Amino acid sequence: MLKGKNVLLGISGSIAAYKSAVLCRELIKKGAHVKVVMTPDAVGFITPLTLSTLSKNPVYSEYSDAKTGEWNNHVELAKWADFFLLAPATQNTIAKMANGICDNLLLAAYFSMQNKTFFAPAMDLDMFKHPSNQQNIKRLEGFDNVLIPSESGELASGLVGEGRMAEVESIIKAISSEDSSWVGKKVVITAGPTYEAIDPVRFIGNHSSGKMGFALAEKVLNKGAEVILISGPTQLTAPNGAQLIKVKSAGEMLAAVRGNKANLYICAAAVADYTVAKPANQKIKKKTEDLSLELTPTVDILAEIGAHKKKGDFVVGFALETNNELENAQTKMERKNCDMMVLNSLRDNGAGFGGDNNKTTILHKDNNVVDFELKSKSAVAQDIIDSIQLKWLG
């Protein structure tokens, strides 16, 4: 995707500018052509010599070359670029871009851009959180610029929190995705089985392997979105870049979902409908007489998400059925207020729990129903993501 692309790399004055050298090198490695434009302040953080060596092009930071008097044409730079990538984007430069202030070459190049602009904010925690900064970021997104969200972590000031520039790997991923409509979106995926404890050594579980949910997480990450994967016990390794929250019971899964607000929810987990009312504290000893367990219903996580979804959110559920498949899935979609339902039938050979393949039918709220062939779970995940993209992001 980056091969042969002309990238105008903008650098504004932040300590995170040291990462721009690695970013520049990665862009070149991926086959992009890179020109660098810096604000006058950025030159104090990283030398133009480093960047011109890495980019194999002159670096621009002034309107004209003081020695030769040659004019650096911002319009030409903007026309040349397939996109403008501002990393790091400081509070000052973001504010100027959001408010039409053009007092350096970098800003002049930005205001001359016809193609897409990506920006990766970098600043201290309190500056980042300040309402004026948040408003400016929103404003820039409103102008169709793409935010590459900053990450939480240790900041140059010693404070810990949000505001750290996204890692080079995340920036490359965000600008490489075919389209940027997923960038900045938060996606919660539930996966795997749940285990409801009977006593300290026994539980009620099911055969879900988690493969479908983990495959979905990978596809969503490839789109450049942020993924929170809330999974019951599985043998699987979470894809790189996903935030994995491990849970055991339906109650723990519910708490994790409640603690993580998202724009898109995909509930692929096989959640127990009942839990043991009073799990024993000690191992239950064998006796000769019958043993009864009292079960009590769990909260339906998907139904709760559906009931509280906000405008613009998208909610996807799964339905595993053995009979009256379409009708049951349709009713489930309505009852749980989902936008889309992925139906698996246990009557389809080779599909369902445990295996590597799946056969699905996707139902949409607008009555559109699409049948898919038996495919690998990875290919099914791609079909699901494509369907979500079509209905949710247009």
Of 210 and 317, which CB lies nearer to ligand CTP in the complex structure?
317
Known catalytic membership, residue 92: no
- Active-site choice (6, 57, 92, 206): 206
Q: Are strands 369-371 and 360-364 parallel, antiparallel or unpaired?
A: antiparallel
Quick check: 140 binds ligand CTP (CB under 6 A)?
A: no
67-96: which residues touch ligand CTP (CB under 6 A)? none
Select the residue interacting with ligand CTP from 267, 333, 343, 385 (CB under 6 A): 267
Q: Closest separation between CB of residue 122 and ligand CTP, Å?
A: 38
- Tell me how far apart the alpha carbons of residues 381 and 220 are, in angstroms, rounded to a whole number: 9
Of 226 and 300, which CB lies nearer to ligand CTP in the complex structure?
300
Quick check: 27 binds ligand CTP (CB under 6 A)?
A: no
Burial of 279 (0-12, 13-18, 19+ CB in 10 A): middle
Q: Which two tokens stand for residue 250?
A: 């339906």
Output the CA torsion sign for 65, 69, 70, 72. positive
Output the CA torsion sign for 376, 380, 385, 389. positive
Of 42 and 341, which CB lies nearer to ligand CTP in the complex structure?
341
- Which amino acid would we find at residue 119? F
286-345: which residues touch ligand CTP (CB under 6 A)? 298, 300-302, 317-320, 332
> Which of 370, 355, 377, 360 is closest to 217 using CA atoms?
377
Q: Closest separation between CB of residue 357 and ligand CTP, Å?
A: 19
Asked if 201 and 286 touch (Cβ cutoff 8 Å), the reply is: no
Q: Closest separation between CB of residue 185 and ligand CTP, Å?
A: 20
Q: Which two tokens stand for residue 314?
A: 């998208």
How distant is the alpha carbon of residue 267 from its chain centre?
A: 16
Q: Closest separation between CB of residue 257 and ligand CTP, Å?
A: 8
Catalytic center residues: 206
- Applying CB under 6 A, which residues contact ligand CTP? 190, 250, 267, 269, 271, 273, 298, 300-302, 317-320, 332
